[in-house]
Amino acid sequence: MSTSIDDLLSFEEEPAGPAVASRGGRVRSVLRALLVTAAIVAVVVAGLRVVGLQVSLWIVVAGVLALLAVRRVTGALSPPPPPRAGYRAPAGEEPGTWNWAARDALRAAINGWERPLDWCAGNRERFTERVLPRIGELADERLRQKHGITRESDPARARTLLKEPLWTFLSTPSRRPPSPRDLAAIVAELEKL
């Protein structure tokens, strides 16, 4: 059974179930907001009186409610916190939902290549300065992991392992950036190492 990358990355939205809000939860949150507002207003009014200032109670209440509303809106709009260091996802079956706000390492890796490749599409100098060294680092890393050498440490053996087209691509900058088909062939050769 083969699955294409399009099948893996496609997303079909499931119909949302009916939103059920408990009345007790809403009343509890309103009471909590009123208590917090009353406590803050009491502290502010007491602080103002200690300093010797007199401000209308309604102005203080309106100011506190405005600050609490701004806090709630900014809290709802803030991005999710970054994952903790050392966090491991639980093993087993996935819950069937996807957290679109989460940071995806695959997406970051793809963007790390997609942006420079797109930026260098018609510019040989940019390609030679930005992308070619990255591909060379990948080739050196594959050679180091699989064979214990790099292009610099043992050029003759690296040349035989990389084979002539890949060696020429890495050592001789081309007159134009490679086409997507050429890059696919280069990546395939790197994967064979």
**Which has the higher per-residue pLDDT, 41 or 10?**
41
Question: Residue 41: pLDDT above 90?
Answer: yes
At 126-167, the pLDDT tens digits run 777 777 888 888 888 888 888 899 889 988 998 898 888 888
- Quote the tokens at residue 26: 């809403």
What per-residue confidence (pLDDT) applies to 119?
Answer: 66
* Burial (CB count within 10 angstroms: exposed 0-12, middle 13-18, buried 19+), residue 106: exposed
Contacts of residue 54, Cβ cutoff 8 Å, sequence gap at least 6:
48
- Quote the tokens at residue 155: 């050029």
Question: Residue 45: pLDDT above 90?
Answer: yes
Instruction: Kindly report the average pLDDT of the chain as a whole number.
Output: 78
**In the chain, what is the greatest distance between 2 CA atoms, to the nearest angstrom?**
87
**Which has the higher per-residue pLDDT, 151 or 83?**
151
Distance CA 33, CA 30 (A): 5
Question: Residue 55: pLDDT above 70?
Answer: yes
Q: Percent of the chain at pLDDT above 70?
A: 66
pLDDT band at 70 (very low <50, low <70, confident <90, very high): very high
Q: Which residue has the tokens 């900058």?
A: 173
What per-residue confidence (pLDDT) applies to 43?
Answer: 94
- Quote the tokens at residue 105: 């390492």
User: Phi first, then psi: what are they for 120, rounded to 5°?
Assistant: -95, 10
Estimate to the nearest angstrom the gap between the alpha carbon of 112 and the chain centroid.
11
What per-residue confidence (pLDDT) applies to 100?
Answer: 58
The answer to whether the beta carbons of residues 93 and 69 sit under 8 Å apart is no
Average pLDDT over residues 69-73: 90
pTM of the model: 0.42
What per-residue confidence (pLDDT) applies to 141?
Answer: 86
